[in-house]
Structure 1
Amino acid sequence: MTARVRGIDHIGLTVPDLEAATRFLADALGAEVLYDTLPAGRGPVGGPETEQRLGVPPGTRQLAIRMLALPDGPGIELFAYDPPGRSPALPSDLGWQHLALYVDDLDTLRDRAIEAGAHPLSPPHPLPGPEAGPANRFAYLRTPWGSTLELVTYPDPQPYEEKTDRRRWRPAASPPSCGVPSAG
């Protein structure tokens, strides 16, 4: 067995309302519920063992845990806690600061996320410097619960590729019939 990272399995995300977050991620990104690790009615779960295992403050209880699948890419694991988180992490805070999803059609997915309740932080921008290319762009949005979501696409060659054989990981192109279902 080779000791190497093969890819991102899932991203854990703490949300204030599990059902609302599930609806947003389904409507905006085409996510589907895989399973509930801790169904909402079976919680709360807490105590010293949970606090130690997860590194949460004393008295924190898990209300629910749900695993979602994106049409292509890692899973998104949603956590709901009591008491709920104090405030959303800002990009300038220490720690993981945003979730970036590679998309083929940035404008359509951005519009879908906005329709589902995301707040656009700015219009799409060209990727800068070593990532630049005619159609290489990104856009940041704020989810309804305050987390930062980046949509990024870089179908064109990037300047950094001229200086190294190493490449950024990107998902394989989906066949035309796959991907996020159309809204409606």
Structure 2
Amino acid sequence: MSSQSAKETIRGIEHVGITVPNHEDAIAFFQAAFDAEVLFSLTDKTREPLTHEALGPKNGLRKGTAIVAVSMLRLRNGPNVEVFEIDRPGGQPGQGISDYGISHFSVTVDDIDAATRAFAAAGGTLLEGPYDLGDQEEGPGNRGQFGQAPWGLLIEFEQLPAPMDYDGHPDAKRWLPNPESEEV
């Protein structure tokens, strides 16, 4: 049994998994909207699906279902996105921020206008904005906007050039992806 604490062992979020109605359409959308790169596919519709019998005990895949396609995508400098298509998914597509579960993910951008234009051109629907961020995120040039992917997933865009305030923790810092020119 290790004596290390979570603080000593947790590095951060590596990927977010998203179940979509159509794998190929979702991949095309992420490539067009975010210049995503497919790193690998564990299965696709030309290969055998990954069944409940093989994976259910490991990841909770519901009995009677199978993963027909799954790919890991690279979205620049931050967590990866894993895209799943399940043959008989449950739930409702397009649930929002008011529902349990992962409601959205956010991408940090240098130019919110260019990023949201690319998103809309790829088939996404933009909600109101861009708008100036408020409260602790307020600062010159700090702006945000939400949009929905074609299957309803909520995606947030944040442009954050100004520093932010942190409640009671002046030394705390929110992790933000570095510009590509600053990657190590």
| TM-score, length basis structure 2 | 0.87
Identify the residue that residue 113 of structure 2 maps to in structure 1: 107
Identify the residue that residue 99 of structure 2 maps to in structure 1: 93
Change (3 A) 1:85 1:117: farther
Instruction: Tell me the secondary structure at the aligned position of residue 58 of structure 1.
Output: coil
Is contact 2:69-2:84 (8 Å) kept?
A: yes
Instruction: Tell me the secondary structure at the aligned position of residue 41 of structure 1.
Output: coil
1:149, distance to aligned residue in structure 2 (A): 0.3
1:30 to 21, 32, 35: 35
Identify the residue that residue 153 of structure 1 maps to in structure 2: 159
1:132, distance to aligned residue in structure 2 (A): 0.2
* Structure 2: unaligned runs, 5 residues or longer: none
User: Root-mean-square deviation (CA), in Å?
Assistant: 2.1
Change (3 A) 1:30 1:129: same
Aligned-residue sequence identity (percent) comes to: 35
Question: How many equivalent residue pairs?
Answer: 177
Change (3 A) 1:49 1:126: same
Q: Distance in 1 between matches of 2:170 and 2:86?
A: 44
* Letter aligned with residue 106 of structure 1: I
1:49, distance to aligned residue in structure 2 (A): 4.4
Q: Distance in 2 between matches of 1:24 and 1:167?
A: 32
Instruction: Tell me the secondary structure at the aligned position of residue 40 of structure 1.
Output: coil
* More deviation, 17-26/33-42: 33-42
Instruction: Tell me the secondary structure at the aligned position of residue 180 of structure 2.
Output: coil
Q: Distance in 2 between matches of 1:36 and 1:156?
A: 38
Identify the residue that residue 150 of structure 2 maps to in structure 1: 144
Identify the residue that residue 70 of structure 1 maps to in structure 2: 75
| TM-score, length basis structure 1 | 0.87
Identify the residue that residue 58 of structure 2 maps to in structure 1: 53
Per-residue deviation, residues 10-69 of structure 1 (Å, max 9, x unmatched): 111111111111111011001011111113221322234423322233211110111111
1:3 to 8, 26, 47: 8
Q: Distance in 1 between matches of 2:71 and 2:169?
A: 42
* Letter aligned with residue 21 of structure 2: P
Does structure 1 residue 14 correspond to structure 2 residue 26? no
* More deviation, 6-15/162-171: 162-171
